Structure 1
Amino acid sequence: MDNTHGPVVALSVAESWTLLRTQQLGRLITNVGERIDVFPVNFVIDADQILFRTAEGSKLVELTINDEVLFEADDHTDTHAWSVIVRGTARRLETDAEVQHADSLGLAPWIPTLKTNYVSIAAKSVTGRAFRLEEEPARDGVQLY
């Protein structure tokens, strides 16, 4: 993550996956008709896929209607921040082997609710940005863009 060229830097796909692997909480964005929803989910990364578990409900229904999703995760410190967005296709894991593999990665619910549906997001594109956090520039005078 090279922030020497300005306060906002595009991350490579590899850098983006590396940062995603450091997190456990992200946001799933679904779109059905004119309805867009955002769901916080805890997740794990397996190769180039995002895995999470969910209960029966609107999230799973929406993924069944439209499997095209966005997934976003981010983090920050006092001096730096980053955000990664994955565009991909979601599908419910069907086989016992897939579910057992997901469980072997430590995929467990954070809250004490029964979540028997396992979902993977296969990435179609991955974009990331890193941000250097500094004071806002002066509002008057010449601005460097």
Structure 2
Amino acid sequence: MNAEPNMTLDVDECWDCLRSTTIGCLAVVVGEGADLHPDIFPVNYAIEHSSVVFRSGGGTKIEAIHDHPQVAFEVDGYDPETGNAWSVVLKGHAKPIIRTDELLDTISLDVTPWQAGKKNQFVRIIAEEVTGRRFPVADSTSWDTPLSGTGRAPRE
């Protein structure tokens, strides 16, 4: 393995990583007042220009975006040939796609959700900040301790 040292990715490399896969995690803010808290959802997505597009049914994600459109989106990957992993975080403004011309452009994107059900709402995350890094994955033996591999008593 030719693992590189920790490396900050430039914006173009971040977008290349985002284009290399189709599953990411959407972080939104849900709730109101004292019950305000973050929540995270896996979504299938596609890249269109400098934005992330995904498809969803109504519910928590869509309500959260309506109430708090500032979101974060994370995608991670691993290259077994080099032993390197990468992580990209996009922060931006999410908005439902509702104009007919935008919907017609978006419908051709491959954003087929894994979960069955009515997924008739499209959302675009307009990137305001994109950051990422690539790093070597540590050999699991580097975390070994004198107690590694010892048996444990069963829980009662």
Q: Structure 1 length normalisation: TM-score?
A: 0.86
1:27 aligns with 25
Structure 1 unaligned blocks of 5 or more: 140-145
- Counterpart Cα distance in 2 of 1:122 and 1:38: 18
Tell me how far 1:109 sits from its aligned partner.
Answer: 2.1
Equivalent residues in 2 for 1:76-91, closer than 5 Å = 76-78=78-80, 79-91=83-95
1:1-145 matched pairs, under 5 angstroms: 4=4, 6=5, 8-32=6-30, 33=32, 34-78=36-80, 79-135=83-139, 136=142
Query: Tell me, what secondary structure is at the counterpart of 1:104?
Result: coil
1:137 positional shift = 8.5
Letter matched to residue 50 of structure 1: V
Structure 2 match to 1:142? none
1:6-37 Cα offsets, whole Å, 9 max, x none, are 2x110000000011001100000012453100
Higher mean Cα deviation, 26-35 or 118-127? 26-35
Structure 2 portions without partners, runs of 5+: 146-156
Whichever of the two has the greater Rg, that structure is 2
Q: How far apart are residue 38 of structure 1 and its match?
A: 0.1
Find the residue that maps to 2:71 and give its secondary structure. strand
Moved over 4 A (4+): none
TM-score normalised by the chain length of structure 2: 0.80
Q: Distance in 2 between matches of 1:82 and 1:115?
A: 30
Structure 1 residue 107, shift from structure 2 partner: 2.3
- Partner amino acid, structure 1, of 2:52: I
The secondary structure found in structure 2 opposite 1:63 is: helix
* Secondary structure of the structure 2 residue equivalent to 1:18: helix
> How big is the shift at 1:45?
0.2
Q: Which moved more, 1:72-81 or 1:49-58?
A: 72-81
Whole-angstrom distance in 2 between the partners of 1:98 and 1:109: 19
Within 2, Cα distance between the matches of 1:123 and 1:89? 7
Q: CA deviation at 1:138?
A: 9.7
